[in-house]
Amino acid sequence: MRGARTNVHYSEVNWRVLGQLFPYLLEFRGRIALAMSCLIAAKLASVGLPFLLKEVIDNLDGQRLAQTLALPLGLLLAYGGLRFLNVLLGEIRDTLFGRVTERAMRRVGLQVFEHLHSLDMAFHLDRQTGGLSRDIERGVNGISFLMRFMVFNIVPTLLEVGLVIGLLWYNYHAGFAVIVATAVVIYIGFSLVATEWRTGFVRKMNEAESASSTRAIDSLINFETVKYFANERSEAAAYDQGLAQWELARRQNRLSLFALNAGQSLIIAIAMTAALVLAANDVLAGSMTLGDFALINAFMMQVFMPLGFLGFVYREMKGSLANIEKMFNLLAVKPQVADAVDAKSLAAGAGQVEFRDVQFGYHSDRQILSGLSFTAKPKQKIALVGASGAGKSTIAKLLLRFYDCDSGTVLIDDQPVTAVTQHSLRRAIAVVPQDTVLFNDSILENVRYGRLDASDDEVMQALKIAHLDQFVARLVDGVNTKVGERGLKLSGGEKQRVAIARAVLKRPRVMLFDEATSSLDSDSERAILTALSEVSQRQTTLVIAHRLSTIVDADEILVIDAGQIIERGNHQQLLAAGGAYQRLWQLQQSSIS
């Protein structure tokens, strides 16, 4: 059964995503340890800066500069050196850890890409390319953000807050430590609550962005259809509707950010004012110096400056975790068609294809094939004909193992396709589809895609067999002519001939033509049929045909109706039988005349 997949929206962040991410970071354990050492050293240097500043101010206060020139100068040099060391250690830390993050992004991105290609046809028929690409992009970028801010912002900030509270308690009195600790707790609590509130707006904004992106890409990919039906305004209106939802979510997000920033600023202002009032009283009472006052001010600035980004960092971390989780959920999707544990490569053979009592339906309430059986012997040309929906293309999909049979067996050279690897199976079969989609590359490289190690001469020979050489010779750039996205710069017939050349170049054991001449004019069709007749002698050929004139030379023609073979034989035999094939033939001949 092929169940439909549904889109899932995650309202809660799964922190266990971090556990899934760690294995990708462990490739550079030494770099991570060194980066963390630099981080700790930088924070110790940062905490030492206010103490040096205090000594400088105390040595300058109320004394003549000439008497104290040497000591303040040395302290100032030490202050400058410590500040430079703090920055330098931070840069070294970023450089060391940057390699770790970039490699993790590369590994995850590649794994997701490979996994998507391993998923079955059902998944790719349901997916939305624009939204999926955005999910992958956000997920990979989320790794960078998460690592950078978690390792270089949250952890160092908490470490610094702890050091500052301890130093204030030890060197002065509990009042300063209590002010800092209370303010930090209130600040963090407020930021977390406010950020949770804002997360809904951010999620709506991302969903609206994905929806509008999907709509735009889908419309642009199918722009010919849009033009055919003059629906540009409708497409623009639908896109604008998505943008309007995005605009509303952005406005709500912006207003909530204002509330968050205002609340954070108020907490910081109250805490700093309270600490400085307490310090000023101690200075007036003579228990603290001006240097101590400057130290308290510096510590308060040092603590609350990084905390000022906490709401932003927490929100973005949650967003990054959600994006990473969504990407990892793609990795969790299991293909409905998978290689058996003991699957082997398809063994060499002559190319015999056999369907044994095959039953198949895309859904339980719609049976497509019902006990289908036939054999295509090596180098035979077998044609499949019948009305639309009879099951002809389904036969091709089962042969390529895009789907698995509900029951029965499909075999190539007496090997069940479920017992061999999908890669080796598809390497043995070349397909010329009805709707040929090409890469936005040259004609040469689109043909070479059939066999990537083929030489230019082999590609040119394939072009000649497909009767595309004369067309290419008339082009200014020849075989280096770019075909445009999805091959839109070529006509339907030209694209099909590129597909035929690509299939010929592959040198397959089995060739499958799915309405391969449907877009060709009569002259081109005759030339292609002559070439295909020669090509068909080299391997087993299955032809799904609508035009019966293209398969009159087939060794056997299978007439399919409602997933069953109702007639079989060669062209002359089926005409003499006076059944469904003869009626189809007469209907097509009368329409031609």
Asked if residue 5 is part of any domain, the answer here is no
Answer yes or no: are the C-beta atoms of 339 and 405 closer than 8 Å: no
Asked if residue 86 is part of any domain, the answer here is yes
Q: Which tens digits make up the pLDDT trace of 36-50? A: 788 788 777 777 777
The residue written with tokens 């036939």 in the block is: 374
Buried b (16+ CB within 10 A) or exposed e, 282-304: bbeeeebbebbbbbbbbbbebbb
Q: What element of type H or E holds 513?
A: strand 510-514
What does the alpha-carbon distance between residue 481 and residue 592 come to, in Å, rounded to a whole number? 36
Is 371 strand, coil or helix? strand
Residue 182 structure tokens? 């209370």
Residue-level pLDDT at 409: 94
Alpha carbon separation from 267 to 177, 270, 298, 514 (Å, rounded): 16, 5, 17, 70
User: What does pLDDT average to in each consecutive run of 10 residues of the chain (593 residues)?
Assistant: 37 64 74 80 75 70 52 69 78 79 81 78 63 74 77 74 81 84 88 79 79 82 80 85 85 83 85 86 81 81 74 72 80 80 88 92 83 91 86 89 91 93 90 82 89 89 84 86 76 81 88 74 66 73 85 90 90 90 85 59
Residue-level pLDDT at 9: 39
Residue 370 structure tokens? 């019902």
Is 461 found in the same domain as 551?
A: no
Is 526 strand, coil or helix? helix
What does the alpha-carbon distance between residue 231 and residue 243 come to, in Å, rounded to a whole number? 18
The number of CA neighbours under 13 Å toward the Cβ of 225 is 7
Count of domains forming the chain: 3
Per DSSP, 205 falls in state H
Residue-level pLDDT at 8: 36
The residue written with tokens 């068609």 in the block is: 337
CATH number at residue 348: 3.40.50.300
Is 275 found in the same domain as 203?
A: yes
Q: What element of type H or E holds 357?
A: strand 353-360
Is 226 found in the same domain as 304?
A: yes
Residue 429 structure tokens? 């079969």
Q: Which tens digits make up the pLDDT trace of 501-513? A: 888 888 889 999 8
Is 298 found in the same domain as 258?
A: yes
DSSP one-letter string for 91-143: HHHHHHHHHHHHHHHHHHHHHHHHHHHHS-HHHHHH--HHHHHHHHHHHHHHH
Residue-level pLDDT at 365: 75
Is 444 found in the same domain as 376?
A: no
Answer yes or no: are the C-beta atoms of 509 and 428 closer than 8 Å: yes
Asked if residue 549 is part of any domain, the answer here is yes
Is 562 strand, coil or helix? coil
What does the alpha-carbon distance between residue 503 and residue 466 come to, in Å, rounded to a whole number? 10
Asked if residue 387 is part of any domain, the answer here is yes
Alpha carbon separation from 59 to 62, 69, 84, 291, 545 (Å, rounded): 8, 9, 22, 9, 97
Answer yes or no: are the C-beta atoms of 384 and 324 closer than 8 Å: no
Answer yes or no: are the C-beta atoms of 556 and 573 closer than 8 Å: no
Residue-level pLDDT at 154: 73
What does the alpha-carbon distance between residue 528 and residue 531 come to, in Å, rounded to a whole number? 5
pTM over the 0.85 mark = no
Q: 361 φ, ψ to 5°?
A: -150, 140
Is 497 found in the same domain as 448?
A: yes
Residue-level pLDDT at 518: 61
Residue-level pLDDT at 3: 38
The pairing of strands 369-376 and 353-360 is antiparallel
Q: What element of type H or E holds 56?
A: helix 29-60
User: Distance of alpha carbon 451 from its chain centroid, rounded?
Assistant: 26
First to last CA, the chain: 46
CATH number at residue 106: 1.20.1560.10
The pairing of strands 381-385 and 407-412 is unpaired
Domain termination site, one of 451, 468, 502? 502
Is 233 found in the same domain as 373?
A: no
Domain termination site, one of 277, 312, 332? 332
Task: Write the CB contacts of 127 (distance below 8 Å, at least 6 apart in sequence).
Answer: none
Q: According to DSSP H, which parts of 286-391 are helical?
A: 290-307, 310-332
Q: 558 φ, ψ to 5°?
A: -105, 120
Asked if residue 114 is part of any domain, the answer here is yes
Residue 467: give the domain boundaries. 439-502
Catalogue the E-assigned strands of 466-515.
510-514
* Burial (CB count <10 Å: 0-12, 13-18, 19+), residue 1: exposed
Residue-level pLDDT at 1: 38
What does the alpha-carbon distance between residue 309 and residue 331 come to, in Å, rounded to a whole number? 32
